[in-house]
Amino acid sequence: MSEENSKNGALAGIKVVDLTRVLSGPYATQILADHGAEVIKVEPPLGDEVRDWGPPFYEGDASYFIGLNRNKRSIGIDLRQKEGQDVLLRILEEADIVFENFKTGQMEKFGLGYEDVLKEKFPKLIYCRISGYGADGPLGGFPGYDAVIQSAAGWFSVNGTSDSGPTRVGIPMVDMGTGLYSTIAMLMALEERSRSGQGQFIDMTLYDCAVSLLHPYLANYLLSDKIPQITGNQHPNIAPYDKYPTKSGDIYIACGNNRQFLGLCEVLGQPELADDPRFKDNGDRSQNRDALTDVLRLAMVNEDGEDLCARLLAKNVPAGPVNDIVQVMSHPHTAHRSMDAKLDWYRGAGTPIKFSRTPGALKSPPPKFGVHSREIMAAHGYSEGDIERMIADGILVEERRK
C-alpha cells in the first residue's frame, strides 16, 4: 500500500462513522479506510471487546483488534447519556456512512434510530446495520457469532472429514463474508445516492450472508434434491481436486477441465490415464473419484512436492504446497504483491484491491482506545472547556473502563 497516494484514495472525501465492534463491521470499515475514507471509530466506555481477545498483545491490545482497525481514529463516547448521543449526532452531521452492529433495537433505545431520527435529520446518510439474524422473523433479535451462524446455516454439515464429523471452518468467513458484502452494499448505496441524492438503510445479517455463501452445496441440493455430505479436502463437483502426500510434504492439485487433467497425467508420466474410460471427463472422474485418488496418490508418494508443483504449474495445472502461515508471509510472491504491510510497529496483510491510479494506503496503525477523542471533538466544534467537562462527566471516555 502506498502512503504517498493516501490523499488520492478511491474513497477520499468519504466520512464513515464506525459504531461496530468485533469482526464483520470493523473488517468492512478497514477496507474503506484503506482506500481513503475517513473512519471515526466510536467505542463504548468498555471499548471494542476484541481488544482483549488475545494473546498475543501489543501494548495492551490483542492481535485480533490490531488486524481489523488500521487507518482509523478512535473516540470513546458513552451513548447511554443524552449528551453522548448529542455528540454522536454532531459527528454525523457531515458523515456519508454510519455502521453499527449493536443488538437490534439498541440505537432506537439511544434515541438514534434510523427511521425515527436519523433519516429525517440526515437524509443523505447511508446507514448500515449488521446483526446476527435481523430484527424480526423466527430468529429476529437473537445474537449471533460466526461459529454459531456457521452451524445454523449449514456450514458445519459440509465441512470436515468422516473422522472429524461436522466441523467449523477455521477462518471466520461468515463474519468476513458479511463484512465484504457490507462493503459492496455501501459502495452500491453511494453510487445510487450520486443519482438520487438520498441515503438509505441497509439491513445486513450474518445469517443471510452465510446462506448466500453456501455455493456449490446449496445449488447442488436445489437441483438434485440430494443432501450434501462432508467431502473433506475434495470438491463435491470436480475431480481431481484434492490434497495429496508427497515425500516432502502435502500438495494440493485442482483440475477444472480435461486439458488440465491431461497435463497432470503427462507430468506424472502416465498420459494413458486421460484416455481411461473411468477418467475421461469430469463426470466420469467424479463418479470414480476413489479409484482416481488411489492411482494419483500412488503416482505422487515418492515425488518431491515443490518440484512437482513447479512442473505442474509449467503445464498450467493449478497446484501448490500446503503452506503454513510462516511460509506464506516469507514467500517472495507475498512480498511481490505487497501483501506484507508494515508501518512502525504494525505488520498486517496488505490490501488485495490494487488500483492503478488510486492505490490503497497504510496511513496509521490501529489506534489506542480514545486516543483521538480530543482532536475529533475539536474538529466538530467543541471547545477545550466543553471537552474537559465531558471527560469529567464520563461522557467522553479516554481510558477504557473495566
Q: Give the catalytic positions in this structure.
A: 175
Does residue 377 register a pLDDT over 60? yes
Angle between helices 173-196 and 24-34 (to 10 degrees): 50
Q: How many CA atoms lie within 13 A of 397 on its CB side?
A: 23
172: number of Cβ within 10 Å: 20
For residue 12, what pLDDT band results from cuts at 50, 70 and 90? very high
Average confidence (pLDDT) over 9-25: 97
3-state secondary structure of 201: strand
> What's this model's pTM, rounded to 2 decimal places?
0.94
Condensed to tens digits (0 to 9), the pLDDT of residues 128-161 reads 999 999 999 999 999 999 999 999 999 999 999 9
Average confidence (pLDDT) over 201-225: 98
Does residue 7 register a pLDDT over 80? no
How many whole angstroms separate alpha carbon 28 and alpha carbon 178?
8
For residue 402, what pLDDT band results from cuts at 50, 70 and 90? confident
Does residue 192 register a pLDDT over 50? yes
Condensed to tens digits (0 to 9), the pLDDT of residues 236-275 reads 999 999 999 999 999 999 999 999 999 999 999 999 999 9
Q: Would strands 249-254 and 319-321 be described as parallel, antiparallel, or unpaired? A: antiparallel
3-state secondary structure of 253: strand
C-beta of residue 274 within 8 angstroms of C-beta of residue 258: yes
Does residue 14 register a pLDDT over 70? yes
pLDDT computed for residue 8 by the predictor: 76
pLDDT computed for residue 128 by the predictor: 98
Work out the burial of residue 240: count CB atoms within 10 Å of its CB; fewer than 13 is exposed, 13-18 middle, 19 or more buried: buried
Q: Would strands 72-77 and 38-43 be described as parallel, antiparallel, or unpaired? A: parallel
pLDDT computed for residue 6 by the predictor: 47
Q: Domains for the chain: give ranges and CATH numbers.
A: 3-213+336-397 (3.40.50.10540), 241-330 (3.30.1540.10)
For residue 203, what pLDDT band results from cuts at 50, 70 and 90? very high
C-beta of residue 122 within 8 angstroms of C-beta of residue 92: yes
How many whole angstroms separate alpha carbon 361 and alpha carbon 7?
9
**Grid coordinates representing 207?**
445469517
Condensed to tens digits (0 to 9), the pLDDT of residues 322-365 reads 999 999 999 999 999 999 999 999 999 999 999 999 999 999 99
How many whole angstroms separate alpha carbon 240 and alpha carbon 379?
59
pLDDT computed for residue 37 by the predictor: 98
Does residue 383 register a pLDDT over 50? yes
C-beta of residue 127 within 8 angstroms of C-beta of residue 203: no
For residue 1, what pLDDT band results from cuts at 50, 70 and 90? low
pLDDT computed for residue 4 by the predictor: 45
**Grid coordinates representing 120?**
429525517
Does residue 5 register a pLDDT over 50? no
Average confidence (pLDDT) over 168-194: 98
pLDDT computed for residue 169 by the predictor: 96
Which residues are CB-contacts of 44 (< 8 A; sequence separation ≥ 6)?
21, 76, 77, 78, 79
**Percent of the chain scoring above 70 in pLDDT:** 98
**Percent of the chain scoring above 90 in pLDDT:** 98
